[in-house]
A and B are shown apart, each in its own frame.
Chain A
Amino acid sequence: MISLLTRDLRLALRAGGGFGLGLAFYLILAVLVPLGVGPAPATLALIAPGILWVGALLACLLSLDRIFALDFEDGSLDLLATAPVPLEAVVSIKALAHWLTTGLPLVLISPVMGLLLFLPSEAYLWLILSLTLGTPALSVIGTFGAALTVGLKRGGLLLSLLVLPLYIPTLIFGAEVVSRGAQGLSVSTPLALLAGITAGAVALLPFASALVLRINLR
């Protein structure tokens, strides 16, 4: 399992894959939004929590089809499915690798983005915390979507359509944490709900993803 993780990470880093893609997208977004909306700090501070979360979500969406597509094409996914490691574990590792290459860099760079968008200083802690808690859910849900569309040619658009409504609760609670933090309100309720979604998704969705993957590899 650890070797699978290191293999996936190495592939993502060296094969010029989705590693930089999500990060670059996030940076572009943070640069383009002020250019489009105008440089007024008050306006930017108001929309910063939402923009930062929507950006993170879209950046995650961008690299989802890479989770299984390459392994499916060269047949290594079939080998993984017949390996002694249960497929549920393989799927979880894949999601973890996706999070380490997409979600974690987003979390690390998010303070810089907050700076560019004049995020109020009280909200930084909640931005980092909500992204740390929320992005794993995005990766796990995205892995389910990628497993659903793995066998399809041109599955990219379909994947976005399927995953988008599934992302909505995470987005709502995540952005709510940051915007409440920015206003100095109590964030415990949305934070708890966000953590609940992540915990539930991480615990249950790998089973659905593995089931779907087995159907697709049949």
Chain B
Amino acid sequence: MASFWEYANPLKFMRTTDWLLPIVTWAAVIVTTVGLVWGFFFTSDDFRQGSTVKIIFLHVPSAMMAINIWVMMLVASLVWLIRRHHVSALAAKAAAPIGLTMTLIGLITGAVWGQPMWGTWWAWDPRLTSFLILFLFYLGYIALWAAIDDPDTGADLTAVLCLVGSVFAVLSRYAAIFWNQGLHQGASLSLAPGTRMDWAYKAPLYTCMVGFGLVFVALLLAGTRTEIRARRMKALVTRERMA
């Protein structure tokens, strides 16, 4: 494997992902299917929550990815700003719609679970509020990319927005905690001893989390390849017009 920096060359990135993408895609399909089927059909119902507990296999992995994808975009934006790593900027661009979708899945599955359990689709709970804010950040980021024609200007501006937005996203998180006491339960998984979840649930949940991670990587690679091709096409069209 070559160093990370060599993949700033789009050609090299395309050549590596040519064989990497199918492997990751199949791994993602298999692991996610195994995790979800295991979680949905081969775990028993919860004592109090009944079968609604099984939405956790969608909710927790998507919520985890929604946050992780923003962190990945932050790192990719920094790499672009500091080293002018073109593929990194395009990867950040390709990651945003995936992150938006994950945030939406988290919000919707949460609402579907909350309706029978909390008796409400929505509560202004710190976690829910933070996720709504994260959703707005994703929307703004994507809208800014879409609004700017010049790709390098777009990459620069969205990278700065991502940096400033991250600071404010963290601030909002703590502001929301300060502002309202929560209805949402604590962390589902914790490394501390005496965790509350049984391995019968934890094993399929971990599988789903790995699966969602793989889905993200597969979609990210595919999206970045699309962006590279789109830019190449744009360059070709411009060259045609010049000639």
A residues at B contact (CB < 8 Å): 144, 148-149, 151-152, 155, 158, 161-162, 164-166, 168-169, 172-173, 176, 189-190, 193, 197, 205, 208, 211-212, 215-216, 218
Contact of A193 with B178 in the complex, beta carbons under 8 Å: yes
Task: State whether A162 and B140 are in contact (beta carbons under 8 Å apart), knowing that A215-B153, A216-B153 are contacts in the complex.
Answer: yes
Q: Are A165 and B168 in contact (CB under 8 A)?
A: yes
A169 touches B157 (CB 8 A): no
Answer whether residue B161 sits at the interface, using C-beta atoms and an 8 A cutoff: yes
CB atoms of B156 and A215 under 8 A apart: yes
* CB-CB under 8 A for A166 and B175, given A152-B147, A216-B153: no
Check A161–B164 contact: CB distance below 8 A.
no
Whole-angstrom distance between the Cβ of B80 and the nearest chain A Cβ: 12
Chain A residues contacting B164 (CB-CB under 8 Å) are 144, 166, 205, 208
B-side contacts of A155, CB under 8 Å: 147
**Closest residue of chain A to B139, judged by CB?**
A161
- Decide: A169 and B136 in contact? CB cutoff 8 A: no
A164 to chain B: closest residue by CB: B136
CA distance A152 to B147 in the complex (A): 7
Report B44 CB to chain A, min CB distance, Å: 41
Complex contact A165–B160 (CB within 8 A)? no
Residues of B within 8 A of A (CB): 133, 136-137, 139-140, 143-144, 147-148, 153, 156-157, 160-161, 163-165, 168-169, 171-172, 174-176, 178-179
User: Is B136 touching A212 in the complex (CB atoms < 8 A)?
Assistant: no
- Cα separation A158 to B136 with both chains bound (whole Å): 12
Determine whether the beta carbon of A215 is less than 8 Å from that of B172: no
Given contacts A148-B144, A166-B168, contact A161 B136 (CB under 8 A): yes
- How many Å lie between the Cα of A208 and that of B162 in the bound state? 11
Could you tell me the dominant secondary structure of chain A's interface residues?
A: helix
Identify which of A166, A176, A189 gathers the most chain B CB atoms within 10 Å of its CB. A166
**Is the Cβ of B178 less than 8 Å from the Cβ of A165?**
no
Q: Answer whether A158 and B172 are a contact pair too, CB < 8 Å, given A148-B161, A208-B164.
A: no
Cβ B153 vs Cβ A165 within 8 A:
no
Q: What chain A residues lie within 8 Å of B144 (beta carbons)?
A: 148-149, 158, 162
Question: In the complex, A199→B2 CA distance in Å?
Answer: 45
Q: Which residues of A contact B161 (CB under 8 A)?
A: 148, 162
Select the residue from A164, A165, A211, A218 with max chain B CB neighbours within 10 A.
Answer: A165
CB-CB under 8 A from B163, the residues of chain A are 208
Instruction: Indicate if the CB atoms of B175 and A169 lie closer than 8 Å.
Output: yes
Q: Which residues of A contact B140 (CB under 8 A)?
A: 158, 161-162, 164-165
Q: Which residue among A149, A197, A208, A215 has the maximum number of chain B CB atoms within 10 Å of its CB?
A: A215
> Do the beta carbons of B176 and A172 come within 8 Å of each other?
yes
Report whether A212 and B160 are in contact in the complex, using a CB–CB cutoff of 8 Å: yes
Which residues of chain B have C-beta atoms less than 8 A from A152's C-beta?
147-148
**Distance, CA A215 to CA B139, complexed state (A):** 22
- In the complex, A189 Cα to B179 Cα: how many Å? 12
Instruction: Give complex CA distance A172, B156 in Å.
Output: 30
A168 contacts B133, CB within 8 Å? Answer: yes
Please report the C-alpha to C-alpha distance between residue A71 and residue B172 in the assembled complex, in whole angstroms: 32
Rounded to whole angstroms, the CA-CA distance of A155 and B163 in the bound complex is 21
Flag if B179 contacts A176 (CB, 8 Å).
yes
- Which residues from B are CB-within-8-Å of A161? 136, 139-140, 143
Q: Are B168 and A169 in contact (CB under 8 A)?
A: yes
Having A173-B175, A189-B178, A205-B164, one finds 5 other A-B pairs with CB under 8 Å, namely A148-B157, A164-B136, A165-B137, A197-B171, A216-B153
| Contact in complex: A172, B168 (CB < 8 Å) | no
- Looking at the assembled complex, report how far the CB atom of B130 sits from the nearest CB atom of chain A, in whole angstroms: 10
- In the bound complex, CA of A60 to CA of B137 (Å): 20
In the complex, are the beta carbons of B147 and A176 less than 8 A apart? no
Q: What distance in Å separates the Cβ of B11 from its nearest Cβ neighbour in chain A?
A: 27
Known: A148-B144, A158-B143, A161-B139. A212 touches B176 (CB 8 A): no
Instruction: Let me know if A158 and B178 touch, CB within 8 A.
Output: no
Q: List the B residue with the shortest CB-CB distance to A154.
A: B147
Query: Given A165-B172, A166-B168, A168-B172, are A212 and B157 also a contact pair (CB < 8 Å)?
Result: yes
